[in-house]
Structure 1
Amino acid sequence: GVAIGMDVTPERTGVMVGNILGGWEFAERELRNLWTDGPRAVSPYQATAWFPAAPQGNICIDQGVKGPARTFVADRASGAYALIGGAEALLRDRADVVIAGGVEAPLSPYGWLCLETSGLGAKARGTLAPDELYRPFDAGHGGSVFGEGAVFLILERREHAERRGATILGELAGWGVSTDGYMPYYTVEPTGQVLGRAMRTAADRAGVSGEDLGAVFAHGSALPFEDVTEGYALHEAFGPAAARRVPVTVPKSGFGHLLGAAAPADVALALRGMREETVPATVNLDRPAPGIDLDLVRGEARPAPGWEHTLVVSRGLGGVNACLVLRR
């Protein structure tokens, strides 16, 4: 469970969840029952268990939360939207504490089939082992490898956290969202300008420039078109000099893309990295792909003395972009 101080009431506690695929493992079992044994064999919970907001309800029940609760479904940017939603609930004084993050359990046959047919998933090829297929920004990039997981953070206004003696790990200092609105079947705008605008909005809100960034935790889907346009976006947002200087990493290539939980995982890793002044490396990045003009952290983790600000990039199908700036 989540330890919440005695001064926090259930009515002033919120939950914000990013989730995409919902409870398909449960749903598949019940649909199998439907087709093999008939309607009476289907659990009544089928009506609510399969959809993305089911985790939100269960968390509220489990933790006794009575305040604002929302689920954000924005493809792979869902978790970033949940963190932004939590911050905005606090700023509007609708809650004092928000449990915000993402959760995903996509590894059911149907969920996996959807990821395969979407074109997002890396295909087996050559002599690469399964753990070598996710290759963000690498010349051999060909899509993501997905994983199951959940990551949540406790968000509070600074004065509230200090009053209850909480250990403050960092600050969500800025955020920006944008939508490419480019083509229904070609969802990433090819110049990176619209994603760049979300990056710049997040930095402006935090009061920082590209020169202030100690690292970028890139979306890094390893889809060639997305990798290249993410590089364009960083140049667009901060100018070529800053874009070439700031260390860029995709640590999720070491454990899998967590879809709705991907951005919260990046935030947790960035907060830990800033504390230890070490930028984690991108796994499987051996030879940068053509057209990627960035300082990519590969091979070994990189010392980063004085690292104060991190940009976390998240983007989803349909051209939804959500970027966060964290302050140490």
Structure 2
Amino acid sequence: MAGSNQTRVVISGIGIVSPIGIGIDTFWQNICSGKTGISRLESIPTENLPSKLAGEVKDFNPEVHLYNKKFLKVMSRDIQLGVAAASDAVKNAGIKRGVVDPERFGVSFGAGHIPTTPDELVAAVKLCAEDNSFEVTRWGEDTMGQITPLWMLRQLPNMPACHISIEHNAQGPNNTITSQDSSALLALAEAMRWIRRGAVDCMVVGACTSNINPVDLSRKNLIDLLSRDEDPKRACRPFDRFRTGTILGEGAAAFVVENYDHAVRRGAEIYAEVIGLGAGCDGRSDTNSDQESDTGLIRAVESAMRQANLMPHQLGHINAHGKSTKIDDQVEARAYHRLFGDDAIKIPITALKSYFGHFDAGSGAVELAASILSLRHGATPATLNYETPDPLCNLDVIHGDVRPMSKRTAMTVSRTSFGQTAAAILRAI
């Protein structure tokens, strides 16, 4: 509980690699100026893809961010984004070798499904092909030698956390969270538990995902509603009445999460304090129209609010999941009304996937970064493309211009397509 004798947990470093900017200054400047990161796909052919738009990270050179450049050859795009964000966060926190006891320095990182690219397996597949059929028995006999022995290291979701620990000599607890959109906040929750137990002084937390891949784009289209809008600037419209679906993207954000007393002793700059973090799951898909499909979100927010000892009117903003699909946004809006009653319409809401799209674990981390920076600057970015309010999403959606924050707290929410939700509440220091 806020105000108790429990160990305080703070954010002392941030790193961002996103479609609207690499680094916290560029990211914040672009999000406040309303610059979208969604554009026509450039890195892969689009003629056979269901959606031609995405939020791509452009001008990204991993060698600028990574210390151990020799590992790049075994890093997929997802891993490169995550490790780069973590390196920037550690640098931003002012942590150099020897500043933190390695055995009390850990990593908890979120990752999504990391697909292989077709070109990595095409040579092996060709050797198994005969008369337009695939001979499975040939796979082990003739083709394994066509695949690099280190191929698997590019696909494993635990590799971002492994590389981060090697990069920064973090010899403490190390874990990977693979819970789609909620991964970053669940990783933060785990870090808080380690810190409050006194097992560590400092953790690197975050998440990374890249859905800019023909396999992922096609797979996601089977289970999600992707926008078919041809205009990149208007394609993603959370809570707008005429939203047509979400847009996929890529990105990562990482944070140095620290015991407050430890941060003060080493003279760290503190961005915010984490004062509440809850999780919940209703165990149902959003395709289920049952009125109870928002219970996971309700449980998560109730738990976070209870830990933070806050009332609804004390929230500076809610950084919503805001996926920009009909069902997701309606379920989320309904949950806020069930939670807060008449106060729901009074709480400022922002939905930042309108800037960079949806990329599972990574987008939750980037949204968390945005809320922390909002507290730092005392302002909440507007939701892009919110033009026509949806009567089934009756919320105070910030649009048009950045809105000054009148409160010093903010909540960010991430939710999976199966109803698992995490909510974090932060306070400016």
TM-score (norm 1): 0.92
Is the aligned partner of 1:310 residue 2:399? no
Whole-Å separation in 2 of the counterparts to 1:197 and 1:161: 31
Paired residues for 1:111-260 under 5 Å:
111-122=216-227, 124-125=228-229, 128-182=230-284, 186=288, 190=292, 192-240=294-342, 242-260=343-361
Shifted more, 262-271 versus 154-163: the winner is 262-271
Going from structure 1 to structure 2, the CA distance change for 1:154 and 1:17 (only over 3 Å counts) comes to: same
CA displacement, residues 112-152 of structure 1 (integer Å, 9 cap, x when unaligned) = 21222122422x14xx4023211100112222212111100
Counterpart position of 1:36: 126
Which structure is larger by alpha-carbon Rg, 1 or 2? 2
Question: Contact 1:197 / 1:237 at 8 angstroms: preserved in 2?
Answer: no
Structure 1, gaps ≥5 residues long: none
Query: C-alpha displacement at 1:188, in angstroms?
Result: 7.9
Question: Contact 1:190 / 1:229 at 8 angstroms: preserved in 2?
Answer: no
Whole-Å separation in 2 of the counterparts to 1:129 and 1:116: 19
State, as a whole percentage, how many aligned pairs show the same letter. Answer: 29
Whole-Å separation in 1 of the counterparts to 2:190 and 2:236: 30
Whole-Å separation in 2 of the counterparts to 1:143 and 1:301: 24
Query: C-alpha displacement at 1:304, in angstroms?
Result: 2.1
Amino acid paired to 2:237? R
SS at match of 2:233: helix
Structure 2, gaps ≥5 residues long: 1-86, 128-142
Query: C-alpha displacement at 1:184, in angstroms?
Result: 9.2
Going from structure 1 to structure 2, the CA distance change for 1:188 and 1:59 (only over 3 Å counts) comes to: farther
Counterpart position of 2:41: none
Amino acid paired to 1:76? D
CA displacement, residues 216-275 of structure 1 (integer Å, 9 cap, x when unaligned) = 0000011111111111111222222x2110100012311222321222212211121122
Question: Contact 2:182 / 2:421 at 8 angstroms: preserved in 1?
Answer: yes
Whole-Å separation in 2 of the counterparts to 1:57 and 1:191: 35
Counterpart position of 1:101: 206
Query: C-alpha displacement at 1:187, in angstroms?
Result: 8.9
Question: Contact 1:191 / 1:232 at 8 angstroms: preserved in 2?
Answer: no
Is the aligned partner of 1:8 residue 2:100? yes
Question: Contact 2:281 / 2:295 at 8 angstroms: preserved in 1?
Answer: no
Whole-Å separation in 2 of the counterparts to 1:113 and 1:9: 45
Is the aligned partner of 1:72 residue 2:177? yes
Whole-Å separation in 2 of the counterparts to 1:321 and 1:270: 17
Going from structure 1 to structure 2, the CA distance change for 1:280 and 1:100 (only over 3 Å counts) comes to: same
CA displacement, residues 51-106 of structure 1 (integer Å, 9 cap, x when unaligned) = 21121112222222211111111121111111111111211222211000011122
